[in-house]
Structure 1
Amino acid sequence: MINILPFPNERKHTFAFLNYARACSPVFIDTDVDMTKILNLREGSATLAQTKLSIITYFIYAAARVLSKYPEANSSLLGGLLPKLAQSDTVSAKFALDKKIGEQRVVLPGLIPHANQISLQGIQNTIDYYKLNDFDNIQEYAALKKLQKLPLFLAELIFGLILADLKRRRSRLGTFSVSSLGHKSINSFFSVGGTTLTFGLGQIQSQAVVQKEEIKIAPVMRLSMTFDHRVIDGAMAADILSDIRESLEKFCE
């Protein structure tokens, strides 16, 4: 028996977003990151402040500061006959959340404006705000709630019109995106977050690595990156990913 069901209202924002994101010309690269220092810092923060910062908090802190040095990548593109680029003078991070709206499990966005200027604890506080509150109690989802009540074709049309405004787009999508599936046995994954750069954080697992010509066991995380080839090229993308890797391995607040 097959049940034919209407498309869930709770997933209309995902439907509209994915149709919008099709315009991206994605290229995929990845690298491995030695997370020894980050894990040690997490344990230290838990001891001193009685709170453990999340891996994604450290990543957003490091990536935002790296991206502030690459204005070309910290840009939004409006395609069409007369393409335009909007370069932002600040870095805003969008991160993905696994939440429920009623009984429907969905991915929802959280936004950290000016992420390159905020402390680790400030980033963690924003993440906790989105994670710990119910969908109905998060005021930033007011527009999304209205979108979910519209017919699907109209929701998609309005979503596209909103994002056609490059200045408004930054306040909806940020200037880079990040998702983490590291809580499961996922090594790497690639997605398109509607921004020029989208990062994926995989699980941290013990691996043999060579350090100073010696083989050691270290906690290693696969870090993936999708970049929009319409905006930047592979050489810059490789520089950015390498710089973020180095920033994590030599993390300094």
Structure 2
Amino acid sequence: MSIEVRVPTLGESVTEATVATWFKKPGDAVEADEMLCELETDKVTVEVPAPSAGVLGEIIAGEGETVGVDALLATLTEGKGAEAPAKDEKPAKVEVQSEVRAEVEEGPAVDVMVPALGESVSEASVSTWFVKVGDTVDADEMLCELETDKVSVEVPAPVAGVLSEILAEEGATVEAGGKLAVITEGASGGAAKPAPKAEAAQETPAAPAASGKDIEHAPSAKKAMAEAGLSPDKVEGTGRDGRIMKDDVKRALAATSSPSAKPAPSAAPRAAVPAEDAAREERVKMTRLRQTIARRLKDAQNTAAILTTYNEVDMSAVMELRNEYKDLFLKKHGVKLGFMSFFVKACVHALKEVPDVNAEIDGDGVVYKNYVHMGVAVGTPQGLVVPVVRDADQMSFHAIEQKINELGTRARDGKLTMAEMQGGSFTISNGGVYGSLMSSPILNPPQSGILGMHKIQDRPMVVNGEIVIRPMMYLALSYDHRIVDGKGAVTFLVRVKEALEDPRRLLMDL
């Protein structure tokens, strides 16, 4: 007997929720009261248990979908040990791929699903497939990479077998819990014949054209080539093993500089741009990460009353201390002693005195945080991300350096999880690594403060009536003037300056 799983009562004045996570998939056996999924409202998280023992049939509301009270979430086949619905019952999406599947059908078909993408993320774009239909794959071998507006997500093979069908090609948008591909479990790759696959590429418009190279080009380059109407064989790749990079596509477009090399644009060309200029332009779709960065920064400007105050700090004491102990520090802790741990410690010290900078506005109230989750802005090839060093106020110098080093590496490799980028209470951004002498950082909402570090530069300073050369750095604190007064902002920055110019103050909490 089929039983309906519906949205429970969500609480007073709450009429809808978002499906956050499914803990079961169609065909899974479940026990009575076993948690099936989790819903999120604007107030609480609600767990949905199984009304009886049985097998989960169909998921009606996937992850990321908004549902109302009593809406249908899924169906359940009652009875412990009930037969799971056959996964091969659905019609083949691409006729020619069914030919390939017929060649490799040696075991049960296993669906490759879009994994949970994280809080508030409901969809992603398929960035790169690392295998093709007919390839043999091992369990946990990476099949493809998805790109969300925050992180890149790798999708591993759930079982060993042969990839018999790809349902979402590169560039396609998929929802959390959606189906990406099908693997024939335990099948042999030799059974899959490449000839039918080659015919499939010609018969099926959705299949990508073969490039003639067994190389995975950079996702940004693929997008640029698609926008420009260039095939890979017309672009010379400079990456490893001839991999095409985005700059290679730019060079190819500049070399051709022919209107025929450009595809018909999706919209009419801008009237104000002369034809000869339009031929030398290129249009590349913004990545989801870049779109999110743009939206959040603009939201911060539209919402917060952002004001910036400046100061400068003499880095002599920190540099001398670092030079004196860096070798011993590396030998004992296995990580280099950088400047960032000093700045984190100095900010933690200042936040204790000026808690407004560590607070946030929530409606008509102010939330004061008795902890410091320090966001550290990191530049990556995909854009700016802000991983969070949690409970930085309880960490030692070496623990801070180790955590920042770990998060920075994961950020550049695109391996950060959603949890590692959420919950920050204050942010530090170091534009000095790129040579910035002074800038005004933008708040990372809903935070109320962000410290901008800049380039260390030798400058003449007056010390005790004498002109001396000192390594100086400009500091900038941008803050939300709705919650932080000018006096508090200036006091915060002065305390950071004092702690850096005399690091002994940090040891004595002065």
Give the TM-score normalised by the residue count of structure 1.
Answer: 0.79
Paired residues of 2:353 and 2:492 also in contact (CA < 8 A): no
Paired residues of 1:74 and 1:91 also in contact (CA < 8 A): yes
How far residue 173 of structure 1 moved from its aligned partner, in angstroms, is: 4.6
Structure 1 residue identity aligned to 2:284: L
Structure 2 residue aligned with 1:152: none
Structure 2 residue aligned with 1:161: none
Is 1:202 matched up with 2:481? no
Is 1:190 matched up with 2:440? yes
Match of 1:13 among 288, 292, 296: 292
Paired residues of 1:135 and 1:141 also in contact (CA < 8 A): no
Alignment of 1:29-178 (within 5 A): 29-50=309-330, 51-79=335-363, 83-100=364-381, 105-133=382-410, 134-138=412-416, 140-141=417-418, 172-178=422-428
The answer for unaligned runs of 5 or more in structure 2 is 1-278
How far residue 142 of structure 1 moved from its aligned partner, in angstroms, is: 6.6
Partner of 2:483, secondary structure, is coil
Higher relative contact order (CA 8 A, sep 6+): 1
Paired residues of 1:68 and 1:116 also in contact (CA < 8 A): no
Alignment partners' CA distance in 2, 1:209 and 1:29:
21
**Which one is further off, 23-32 or 47-56?**
47-56
Is 1:26 matched up with 2:306? yes
Partner of 1:122, secondary structure, is helix
Q: What is the number of equivalent residue pairs in this alignment?
A: 218
Partner deviation per Cα, 1:96-146 (whole Å, 9 max, x = no partner): 10113xxxx3111110112122111111111101122354433x3379xxx
How far residue 54 of structure 1 moved from its aligned partner, in angstroms, is: 2.0
Alignment partners' CA distance in 1, 2:344 and 2:419:
25
State the identity %. 22
Structure 2 residue identity aligned to 1:187: L
Structure 2 residue aligned with 1:244: 496
Describe the shift of the 1:39–1:175 C-alpha distance in structure 2 as closer, same or farther (beyond 3 A).
same
Tell me which protein shows more helix as a share of its residues.
1
Structure 2 residue identity aligned to 1:241: L
Partner deviation per Cα, 1:229-252 (whole Å, 9 max, x = no partner): 000111111111111100110112
Describe the shift of the 1:235–1:12 C-alpha distance in structure 2 as closer, same or farther (beyond 3 A).
same
Alignment partners' CA distance in 1, 2:502 and 2:389:
23
Alignment partners' CA distance in 1, 2:435 and 2:380:
20
How far residue 185 of structure 1 moved from its aligned partner, in angstroms, is: 2.8
Structure 2 residue identity aligned to 1:108: V
Structure 1 residue identity aligned to 2:321: L
* 4+ residue runs over 6 A deviation: none
Alignment partners' CA distance in 1, 2:481 and 2:351:
17
Partner of 2:286, secondary structure, is coil
Partner of 2:456, secondary structure, is strand
Partner deviation per Cα, 1:191-221 (whole Å, 9 max, x = no partner): 2222211111110011111222222111100
Give the TM-score normalised by the residue count of structure 2.
Answer: 0.41
Structure 1 residue aligned with 2:231: none
How far residue 85 of structure 1 moved from its aligned partner, in angstroms, is: 0.9
Paired residues of 1:115 and 1:123 also in contact (CA < 8 A): yes
Structure 2 residue aligned with 1:149: none
